Amino acid sequence: MRALIIGVGQCGTKIADIFALVDFEALAVNTSKGDLSYLKHIPQEHRVLVGESITGGKGVNANPLLGREAMKRDLPLVMKKIGSIVGYDDVDVFFLTFGFGGGTGAGGTPVLAEALKEEYPDSLVVAIGALPLREEGIRPTINAAITIDKLSKIADSIIAIDNNKLKESGEDITRAYEKINYTIVERIASLLALVDVPGEQTLDASDLKFVLKAFGSFATVGYAKADASKIRNLSRLIMKSFENEGLYLDANIESALYGLVAIHGPPGALKASEIFEALDYLTSKIKGKQIFRGFYPDPREREVEVVTLLSGIYESRSIEEIILTAKEYARSFMEAKEEAENRKNELLSGLPDFDDLYPPARSTEDPAEGG
């Protein structure tokens, strides 16, 4: 299973940088030279500055039109760099990480996603994007809504992380961002690490690709961990991995089409009856009724770890709130604009032209007349 992580914009490159820390192949793309230079783990030659001719390397200040233009102009550069990293081996999944609310990530990611789909038709393109905080105001919400719409027509799945969920922890925002970024990487990395591990009841790349190839719908990754000696019923721990607070997205999991559950821990703790109890319950609960599972008994392990991926999700309160707010704003903005336009036209109508009020000017171009 080969995954290539591509971060776009500041949020996206920060997340990609953590993936690089845990040894994933990662690329950083940004319009801001400064933000690219702050990365710690992605090698210099895997950092690409785009749109320098329009932004001077200073970012696009949350303007997704500029972000899109920047990516379009330097797309050949970005694709060439990706080609050099990919080489002759196939990539199973391109994970694109970004913030939905800014300009570079929101504007540029759909452009890149489309180019990847065209160039690598057998690889999946999965977007991993952070949804803006309500407090950030209307612009990030609009950027997010329009980008969701675009990506839903291009990407195979959209793993959305709701930043609003973090605030509930009461930490300051920088710490909270850092925490969520690490959490995202931890979950995706645990999942990818378990795919392709040899064994009988394990998951392989084709299972993961099947689950993620979900028509541009939403996906979310849950997680639960506990000391094996303290687990009274494993079924409860598995269910916990699906609970809302674990997923950073307000979603109706019953609307999911597919699920994938990976359970890793000491052999004695992985009781089949308890695992199947949870998986049966889950299968009956989700709409698509398809759950893939992998068991990873590991004698060296003392903890039981459960990673769950749910995909094909079409109902999410986090997403709905953003779309409805953006639509409502766009409607009232257009109304206000039309009203202002009408008022302006009304006010200005009935004005004469200069010719009605001034005597015709003598032409200065005809020297004969002046003479």
Ligand X SMILES: Nc1nc2c(ncn2[C@@H]2O[C@H](COP(=O)(O)OP(=O)(O)OP(=O)(O)O)[C@@H](O)[C@H]2O)c(=O)[nH]1
**Sheet arrangement for strand 157-162:** 47-49, 25-30, 3-8, 93-99, 124-131, 157-162, 217-227, 303-313, 258-265, 290-297
In this complex, which beta carbon is closest to Mg ion, that of residue 10 or of residue 147? 10
**By rule CB under 5 A, what string of x and - marks binding of each residue 1-20 to Mg ion?**
---------x----------
14: contact with ligand X by CB under 6 A: yes
Is residue 109 close enough to count as binding Mg ion by CB under 5 A? no
Q: Which residue has the tokens 């300009």?
A: 103
Least gap, CB of 275 to Mg ion (angstroms): 44
Q: Taking CB under 6 A as the criterion, which residues in 66-105 touch ligand X?
A: 99, 101-105
- Name which position in 31, 147, 164, 217 contacts ligand X (CB under 6 A): 31
Interacting residue with ligand X among 11, 39, 125, 224 (CB under 6 A): 11
- Distance of closest approach, residue 127 Cβ to Mg ion, in angstroms: 18
Rounded to a whole number of angstroms, the minimum distance from the CB of residue 357 to ligand X is 50
Q: Which tokens is 165 given?
A: 């969920």
- Which of Mg ion, ligand X, none does residue 60 bind (CB under 5 to 8 Å by kind)? ligand X
Residues 6+ apart with CB under 8 A from 153: 216
Q: Which of 37, 61, 201, 233 binds ligand X (CB under 6 A)?
A: 61
Q: How far is the CB of 62 from Mg ion (least distance, A)?
A: 8
C-alpha 222/C-alpha 16 separation (Å) is 20
* x/- track of binding to Mg ion for residues 40-59 (CB under 5 A): -------------------x
Of the residues 163, 308, 311, 316, which one makes contact with ligand X according to CB under 6 A:
163
Cα 348 to Cα 195: distance, rounded to the nearest angstrom? 69
Rounded distance between C-alpha atoms, residue 349 and residue 23, angstroms:
67
60 versus 113: smaller Cβ distance to Mg ion: 60
CA dist 233 and 125 (Å) reads 37
Indicate which of Mg ion, ligand X, none lies near residue 125 (CB less than 5 to 8 Å, by partner kind).
none
Q: How far is the CB of 318 from ligand X (least distance, A)?
A: 13
Q: Minimum distance between the CB of residue 7 and Mg ion, rounded to whole angstroms?
A: 11
SS3 per residue for 139-172: HHHHHHHHHHHHHHCCCCEEEEEECHHHHCCCCC
Strands 3-8 and 290-297: unpaired
Q: What are 243's strand-pairing partners?
A: none
Residue 326 as a binder of ligand X (CB under 6 A): the answer is: no
Q: Calculate the alpha carbon distances from 307 to 109, 222, 289 in Å.
A: 27, 6, 18
Handedness of CA 93, 99, 102, 106 (dihedral sign): positive
Restricting to residues 121-160, which ones interact with ligand X according to CB under 6 A? 130, 132-133, 136, 140
Specify the stretch interacting with Mg ion by CB under 5 A; choose among 29-37, 122-130, 138-146, 311-319: 29-37
Handedness of CA 226, 228, 233, 238 (dihedral sign): positive
Please identify, using beta-carbon distances, which residue of 29 and 310 lies nearer to Mg ion: 29
Among 5, 9, 28, 207, binds ligand X (CB under 6 A): 9
Q: Which of 62, 111, 211, 279 binds ligand X (CB under 6 A)?
A: 62
Helices (DSSP H) in 56-121: which residue ranges? 64-73, 75-86, 104-119
Structure tokens that stand for 174 in this block: 């920088």
Report how many residues bind Mg ion under the rule CB under 5 A: 3
Interface residues toward Mg ion, by CB under 5 A: 10, 32, 59
Interface residues toward ligand X, by CB under 6 A: 9-12, 14, 31-32, 59-62, 99, 101-105, 130, 132-133, 136, 140, 161, 163, 177, 180-181
